[in-house]
Amino acid sequence: DVKVTQSSRYLVKRTGEKVFLECVQDMDHENMFWYRQDPGLGLRLIYFSYDVKMKEKGDIPEGYSVSREKKERFSLILESASTNQTSMYLCASKDPPPVDEQYFGPGTRLTVT
C-alpha cells in the first residue's frame, strides 16, 4: 500500500512564527503536492513538485514556500504564519500516467493564533 505520511495531525502556532509541514511518501513517486482545504472552497493547490529540487506554483502560493531535497520528502514552509493560514493542509503524491491516481496523507490541521 502507498503510504503518505504527514509529520503532525494537529499544530498550533503563533502569528509570525515559521512553520514547517513535512510530508513523506514511500512509493518512489516523482510528483508531490500540497493543498489547503477550507469549508466551501474545496481543495486549493499551493505548490507541487515533479522532481527533486523542482517546484511549481499552484493556485495560491502566496505566503508559502516548499522544499524537495529528497524524492520521498516534500516540505511546506510558512515563512511568517498569519491567522488566515489557519486551515487543513493535505499532502499528496501521484502515480505516473496513465492511471494518475493521487494518494493523500491524513492532513495537518494548523491553527495560527
Binding site for another protein (CB under 8 A): 4, 30-31, 33, 40-43, 45, 48, 50, 58, 90, 92, 94, 97-107, 109
The residue type found at 89 is: Y
Q: Which of 89, 87, 103 is nearest to 47 (CA)?
A: 89
Distance CA(30)–CA(94), nearest Å, equals 7
Distance CA(7)–CA(97), nearest Å, equals 28
Closer CB to another protein, 41 or 113, in the complex:
41
Closer CB to another protein, 16 or 106, in the complex:
106
To another protein, the closest distance from the beta carbon of 77 in angstroms equals 19
Closer CB to another protein, 47 or 75, in the complex:
47
